[in-house]
């Protein structure tokens, strides 16, 4: 009859194995934390030209529009604008600073025809002031309705893994009268047909809140182009009143 002998364990060897396991787990945890905390990487300056379809007040028009993204030192400007004889001037103008956290807007001016809405963000007091007289607290990472486009580009350039299909991303956004948390769903990769040819894009969608109505309840769809510094190749805004503004890139210049 064979006799089974319990192996004799070397206490020192066992301790070394336990210490090695702890080191592996610690390194893995630190690597995961570093990945989660990847810093945003704003894209180089760019001037984007778009072919744009506008549906508003019963009219359907095709117009040209532009997004100008520029940095000077630690300041930035994002200007999204279009003009048409029937629609007048449409301007969405964001200015602020660039920090390790990405874009930090300080002023946002929205002009539709001759109506202007100004939002100012005082980073020192952490307060948002709206042109209607309302105020709100400014949470960390706050964007406005135009800076959020380039902040998405910056976040994707810093951590493309966060833009994998099915993931979500929450960004606080100052609208025309209030601060909301915009939850973006990463819909996935899509091929966009454009005047520049077929572009590989990642579709990101923000749905308005269910059962809510108002000027800040926009549906926002953005198609980011990974091969073009993750710049917005298409932007579609659907307002609560049914108006739609759909931009498809036709040219990108430095």
Ordered by where they begin, the domains of the chain are: 46-253 (2.40.360)
**Span of 22-31, 51-60, 126-135 with lowest mean pLDDT:** 22-31
Q: How far, in Å, CA of 124 to CA of 37, rounded?
A: 24
Mean pLDDT, the chain, rounded, equals: 86
Give 209's contacts (C-beta < 8 A, 6+ positions apart). 180, 217
Which residue blocks in 190-229 are alpha helix, DSSP H?
none
pTM above 0.85, yes or no: no
pLDDT at 191 over 90: yes
**Span of 65-69, 183-187, 211-215 with lowest mean pLDDT:** 211-215
pLDDT at 125 over 50: yes
What pLDDT is attached to residue 18?
54
Using CA atoms, how far residue 73 sits from 45, 77, 96, 97, 159, in Å, is: 12, 11, 11, 9, 23
What pLDDT is attached to residue 37?
57
Residue 207: Cβ-neighbour burial (10 angstroms; 0-12, 13-18, 19+): middle
Cβ atoms 186, 164 nearer than 8 A = yes
Partners of 252 in beta bridges:
48
- For the segment 154-162, the average pLDDT, to the nearest whole number, is 98
- For the segment 227-232, the average pLDDT, to the nearest whole number, is 98
């Amino acid at each position: 009859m064979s006799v089974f002998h319990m192996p004799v364990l070397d206490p020192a060897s066992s301790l070394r194995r336990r210490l090695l396991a702890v080191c592996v787990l610690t390194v893995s945890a630190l690597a995961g934390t570093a990945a989660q905390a990847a810093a945003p990487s704003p894209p180089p300056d760019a001037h984007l030209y778009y072919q744009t379809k506008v549906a508003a007040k019963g009219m359907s028009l095709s117009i040209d529009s532009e997004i100008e993204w520029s940095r000077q030192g630690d300041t930035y400007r994002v200007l999204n604008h279009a003009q048409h004889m029937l629609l007048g001037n449409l301007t969405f103008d964001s200015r602020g600073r660039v920090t390790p956290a990405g874009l930090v807007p300080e002023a946002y001016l929205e002009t539709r025809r001759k109506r202007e809405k100004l939002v100012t963000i005082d980073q020192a007091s952490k307060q948002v002031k709206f042109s209607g007289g309302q105020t709100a607290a400014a949470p960390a990472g706050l964007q406005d309705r135009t800076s959020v486009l380039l902040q998405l580009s910056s976040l994707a350039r810093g951590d493309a893994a966060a833009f994998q299909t099915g993931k979500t991303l929450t960004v606080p956004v100052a609208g025309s009268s209030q601060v909301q948390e915009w939850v973006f769903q990463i819909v996935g990769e899509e091929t966009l047909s454009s005047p520049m040819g077929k572009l590989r894009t990642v579709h990101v969608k923000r749905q308005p809140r269910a059962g809510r109505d108002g000027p800040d309840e926009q549906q926002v769809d953005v198609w980011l182009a990974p091969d073009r510094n993750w710049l917005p190749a298409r932007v579609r805004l659907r307002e609560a009143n049914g108006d739609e503004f759909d931009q498809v890139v036709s040219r990108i210049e430095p």
